[in-house]
Structure 1
């Protein structure tokens, strides 16, 4: 197989990949604006709670280490 044939075959498979990907994206059930808003709020609240949780754990461990260091 010549070099040009391999390049042409590579571009053919790449074109097929994008065609197949686009057809699969058409099958996806995308969330409505209301669903997307509620999902975003859930994620943000979860991140805030996780941040606060780890911040409190970090403060506690820091104070514990300071207590035993002295």
Structure 2
């Protein structure tokens, strides 16, 4: 059974390598653009939730005295 598992692992790794060769990798320019979009989105969402949190906190302080 161990021999079969070893064969299966090597077959799997060969298939992974073959699949990775078929991948269309982004260019450096595309990668930079995608990274900036992700960072901008994260920054926007962080600020948005900080403002919402501040608003809810202020509202609760106002209501509860």
Could you list the runs of 4 or more consecutive aligned residues of structure 1 that deviate by over 6 angstroms after TM superposition? none
TM, length-normalised to structure 1: 0.91
Number of equivalenced pairs = 65
TM, length-normalised to structure 2: 0.97
Q: Which runs of 5+ in 1 are unaligned?
A: 1-5
CA displacement 1:6-57 (0-9 Å, x = unmatched)? 0010111011110000000000000000000000000000000000000000
Q: Which has the larger Rg?
A: 1
Q: Which runs of 5+ in 2 are unaligned?
A: none
Residue 52, structure 1, aligned to residue 47, structure 2: yes
